[in-house]
Structure 1
Amino acid sequence: MAVEKHVGIEPPGFFIKLELEARGWSQRDLAFVLGQVEQQLTPLLSGKRAITPDMARLLADAFDTSPEFFLNLQSHFDLANAKEPDPAVKARAQLQSAFPIREMVRRGWIKDGEASLLRLQMSRFLEEANDNDSKSSIAFAAKRTHYDDTPPHQLAWVHRVRQLAKKLHVESYSPEKLIEALPKLKSFMIDPDAIKEVPGILAECGVRLIVVEALPNAKIDGVCTWLDDGCPVIGLSTLYDRIDNFWFVLRHEIEHVLLGHGKGDLGMVDLSLTTDMNDEPKYQPEEERLANEAAADFCVPADKFNSFFARKSPYFYEKDVIGFASVLGVHPGIVVGQLQRRMKRYDYLRKYQVPVRQYLTETALADGWGTVAPADL
């Protein structure tokens, strides 16, 4: 074939005309070869009509070449004349590769917009962290399913907790007050409705309590982070909305606060672990071991639980569980949670593991579940 590829944005019809000239054909000749009416070719040769796959095959036979040749001519022309894409598309793609931007927009954490606005919002949201990096230098100690890394979904969740915590005004932090408050918190464990008192008690001790719904794929229960050396923050996701999980996670994070975990040079507390399904990790960082022991003993003292387990094993009747919980002054669901874990029977008396988020979000600064907490970016 005599046609050579030309550089530019000429329509395919331009090259067809060149081929006709090279062959000494007229438009009427081409119409005859193709078995069409001459007027049918006019829009094609003038660039007003695109080459379809059917026409590409006809032209290929007419000019003894491949249909791909004509389709490529059309494709290059269309691409050269396509509209310039919105720069926000590339920005969203880059940000989405590092953080769950779409979900953050849906949740109202940031607003969708042009590229510069998205980057500015993310820079502020991440407290001036590098928005091209999926890690952050923010130190925190988190009770997570896995401790081997900090996925972007979890990191974004922690930043949302910190963002909202800055809106709360609480008393100056006092570890002494927090320790003194533990018996009072313990007294709330018998009544799910009493959980609404927890945010106020912690605020009196200088601890900010924030409740943020977890992002999809972010299996994180709670976090202890610090706005500065004297401003501790506890974030809860209520990922598992059960009374036993709430009290265990809360006391776990309180222990992190009391021990000063998750701030300063300590950095990320979560270290590499190998975890079995529904089982204790084979290895735990010392900080996590201490927090877990404090939480378990707070919910059900270890010596009393071990005695009860030894006396009643292998048959734990419902009336015995309720009686034991009454003696301890806690809700039966808290004892059930400990028994489930020890027996590895997670369906055992599950009816007592009542949901508590509804009470907590009455008084805590909460974000998610259809509600967006106010926070200026």
Structure 2
Amino acid sequence: MPRVIKTERDHQRALARVDELFAATPDTPEGDELELWLLLIEKFEDEVFPVDPPDPIEAIRFRMDQANLKQKDLIPIIGSKSKVSEVLAGKRDLSLTMIRRLVDELGIPADVLLRQKGSVPVAQDFLELGKRFPLAEMVKRGWLDGVVKSLKEAREQLDDVLAKFTEPVGDPTSLEVFNRQMSRCGNAKDDAALVAWQIRVMSVAKQRAKLTYESGTVDESFLREVARLSFFNDGPKLAQEFLAKNGIHLIVERHLPRTYLDGAAMRLGDDGRLIAMTLRHDRLDNFWFVLLHELAHISLHIDKGVCQAVFDNLDERGTDKIEREADALASDSLIPKSVWRDARLTVRSSFGDVKSFADHHRIHPAIPAGRIRYESGNFKVFARLVGSGQVRQQFEH
């Protein structure tokens, strides 16, 4: 009776039995036995004697022979006469862009061509989004250094650019920004640019030392401790160090065109947290409020699973619940409501009054000055106290 083939001796016995049954009539006991033996033999041979797929270059040459193509016919697919020659000679690896075109134009199976590349093409939906990435700005900022040398090359090899750019963060379609309903909170004007920026800040964080965050670390006392660092001239850098010691990355990366971002808070893997700030407004009052606002999101929303990532444009202060909650906690952590009410500081207060209040509460005068400006809507007062141009320089050395 047929049985699972485990050894070469079993294999030889099975082949001998197939010879005996080869002339069996279908749908008879002997025919059924023959069919079962053939299935068992095929399974054993597939496991023990796998057939290697053809070499990618051999597959291309075979397809050229089939279609009567010359090397010049591959120029629109591979890119240039010299590239065609180098690929066919085995001197140049196939790029993902070349692979996609060879699949589309010549019908060569992708799994055959990918044997040489050792990677897989990016998902089609992400490729479509990637076509809208601000590639010129990304090249200008050096985000694609080591990947391509020019904007022209980036556009010609978009598959490869996206694969390399997203490699540190894994599957880009798993990023929170792709799930608006459950994982991502906040808005931006240009989704493609937002995704590119998120990948960038996450990649920078992952290239630094791994930090482990314990959920619940950010509470009211933690936030007030961060706020007190504003008292020092190098407070922003001290805050970055303090957050790192508590498992939170603080990355500064300018926003991309049409994103209008001030900052973002996001989960980084299972046990990491990341705050990214753009310093779109390079002022100390803005820095401290945005930082505390993003930390509030970690405490109130990310640690509790409400969102996995939050993206903020604080020029358009949100009216939804999570933004009101983050605003309230950030404001109260910088200056408690009762303290602010008793201070009675207004646009008519003197510089000395504002500075005395800040010194007494051991915070930077930019914080009360910024709150007066925001609450009054008069952004001309106390301009000398809000620390214009004093933040970015701390992160560029």
TM range (shorter): 0.5 to 0.7
In 1, distance between residues paired with 2:254 and 2:304?
Answer: 23
Q: Is the 8 A contact 2:253 2:276 kept in 1?
A: yes
Match of 1:189 in 2: 230
Q: Is the 8 A contact 1:262 1:269 kept in 2?
A: no
Match of 2:272 in 1: 231
In 2, distance between residues paired with 1:165 and 1:253?
Answer: 16
Higher deviation after alignment, 222-231 or 105-114: 105-114
CA offsets, 1:309-346, max 9 Å, x none?
3xx55622222111222222111111111000111001
**2:262 is paired with a residue of what secondary structure?**
strand
Match of 2:391 in 1: 356
Residue 337 of structure 2 is aligned to residue 302 of structure 1: yes
Cα separation, partners in 2 of 1:201 and 1:148, compared to 1, 3 Å: closer
Match of 1:71 in 2: none
Cα separation, partners in 2 of 1:252 and 1:280, compared to 1, 3 Å: closer
How many equivalent pairs are there? 266
Q: Give, as a single letter, the amino acid of the residue that structure 2 aligns with 1:214.
A: H
In 1, distance between residues paired with 2:216 and 2:274?
Answer: 16
**2:207 is paired with a residue of what secondary structure?**
coil
Residue 129 of structure 2 is aligned to residue 109 of structure 1: no
Match of 1:335 in 2: 368
Structure with larger Rg: 1
Deviation at 1:256? 1.5
Deviation at 1:205? 1.0
Question: Please, which of 275, 282, 292 is the counterpart of residue 327 of structure 2?
Answer: 292
In 1, distance between residues paired with 2:303 and 2:372?
Answer: 30
Cα separation, partners in 2 of 1:350 and 1:114, compared to 1, 3 Å: closer
Match of 1:168 in 2: 208
In 1, distance between residues paired with 2:246 and 2:200?
Answer: 22
CA offsets, 1:154-206, max 9 Å, x none?
22111111111111224421245444643432321112313222222111111
Deviation at 1:278? 5.7
Q: Is the 8 A contact 2:224 2:333 kept in 1?
A: no
Correspondence list, 1:179-218, <5 A = 179=219, 181-218=222-259
Residue 284 of structure 2 is aligned to residue 243 of structure 1: yes
Match of 1:52 in 2: none
Deviation at 1:248? 0.8
Higher deviation after alignment, 104-113 or 147-156: 147-156
Q: Is the 8 A contact 1:321 1:336 kept in 2?
A: yes
Considering Cα pairs closer than 8 Å and 6+ residues apart, tell me whether 1 or 2 has the greater RCO: 1
In 2, distance between residues paired with 1:224 and 1:279?
Answer: 17
Match of 1:372 in 2: none
Deviation at 1:116? 6.7
Residue 161 of structure 2 is aligned to residue 121 of structure 1: yes
Q: Is the 8 A contact 2:283 2:386 kept in 1?
A: yes
CA offsets, 1:16-72, max 9 Å, x none?
xxxxxxxxxxxxxxxxxxxxxxxxxxxxxxxxxxxxxxxxxxxxxxxxxxxxxxxxx
**1:229 is paired with a residue of what secondary structure?**
coil
Deviation at 1:262? 8.5
In 1, distance between residues paired with 2:253 and 2:273?
Answer: 16
Match of 1:151 in 2: 191
Match of 1:100 in 2: 134
**1:220 is paired with a residue of what secondary structure?**
coil
Cα separation, partners in 2 of 1:114 and 1:178, compared to 1, 3 Å: closer
Among all aligned residue pairs of Structure 1 and Structure 2, give the percentage whose two residues are the same amino acid.
26
Residue 353 of structure 2 is aligned to residue 320 of structure 1: yes
Cα separation, partners in 2 of 1:265 and 1:304, compared to 1, 3 Å: closer
Q: Give, as a single letter, the amino acid of the residue that structure 2 aligns with 1:169.
A: A
In 1, distance between residues paired with 2:309 and 2:196?
Answer: 15
Q: Give, as a single letter, the amino acid of the residue that structure 2 aligns with 1:151.
A: D
Structure 1 residue ranges without an equivalent (≥5): 1-82, 363-377
**1:224 is paired with a residue of what secondary structure?**
strand
Cα separation, partners in 2 of 1:264 and 1:175, compared to 1, 3 Å: closer
Q: Is the 8 A contact 1:154 1:219 kept in 2?
A: no
Deviation at 1:128? 3.3
In 1, distance between residues paired with 2:379 and 2:227?
Answer: 24
**2:384 is paired with a residue of what secondary structure?**
helix
The root-mean-square deviation of aligned C-alpha atoms, in Å, is: 3.7
Q: Give, as a single letter, the amino acid of the residue that structure 2 aligns with 1:290.
A: E
CA offsets, 1:213-264, max 9 Å, x none?
2223321011111122311111111111111111111111111222342996
CA offsets, 1:247-293, max 9 Å, x none?
1111111112223429967456569xxx9x96744x22x22211111
Q: Is the 8 A contact 1:222 1:253 kept in 2?
A: yes
TM-score calculated relative to the size of structure 1:
0.60
Q: Give, as a single letter, the amino acid of the residue that structure 2 aligns with 1:159.
A: I
Match of 2:87 in 1: none
Q: Is the 8 A contact 2:347 2:381 kept in 1?
A: no
**1:335 is paired with a residue of what secondary structure?**
helix
Structure 2 residue ranges without an equivalent (≥5): 1-74, 80-96, 102-126
